[in-house]
A and B are shown apart, each in its own frame.
Chain A
Amino acid sequence: QKEVEQNSGPLSVPEGAIASLNCTYSDRGSQSFFWYRQYSGKSPELIMFIYSNGDKEDGRFTAQLNKASQYVSLLIRDSQPSDSATYLCAVNPNFNKFYFGSGTKLNVKP
């Protein structure tokens, strides 16, 4: 079992719609959760992080965490073509090591 699982996609949504990206993790003791965006040929760029159960909003992005279900999600409201990228979920089961999922490719169609 992989430490972090993501649907590889691609996930296609029309411009202006809500994109929902999901991630599950295996280590129940994980405390920190991160979402990164990676454009093709570029390095990962931090979008946001979440530590507590519930929702955390930052602009058009909302991260949702459910530790009981070991589930993290990222919602992107009013999706734009510039949001088209691969979204990586990362989990920090201890202070010094990150586990990344394989990423979900998002296509936002104009």
Chain B
Amino acid sequence: NAGVTQTPKFRVLKTGQSMTLLCAQDMNHEYMYWYRQDPGMGLRLIHYSVGEGTTAKGEVPDGYNVSRLKKQNFLLGLESAAPSQTSVYFCASSVPSGGPDEQYFGPGTRLTVT
């Protein structure tokens, strides 16, 4: 099993450009998440999904859109990138367990917006 994979690993964008980050998991997990990690700060949840075709906003959703057309994939889109979106983006997945769900993380995408 590859677990959670993210594409691309690195990207540099100019202000105003758009891009899509792809997250894929092969563990048949129901739940998927997008986080961003900034220096000196904890991870912050951008959007999450509890199943195919459903998405919900997290703590910092502005400037991002997501889609979950297939259970194994969760896409994060930036329509018009801004320097404030320079960050490391992590995708995670989990399976509902009736208690705390253990989240499995991908390796991250390092995005720089100039």
Q: Do A and B bind each other?
A: no
A residues near B (Cβ < 8 Å) are none
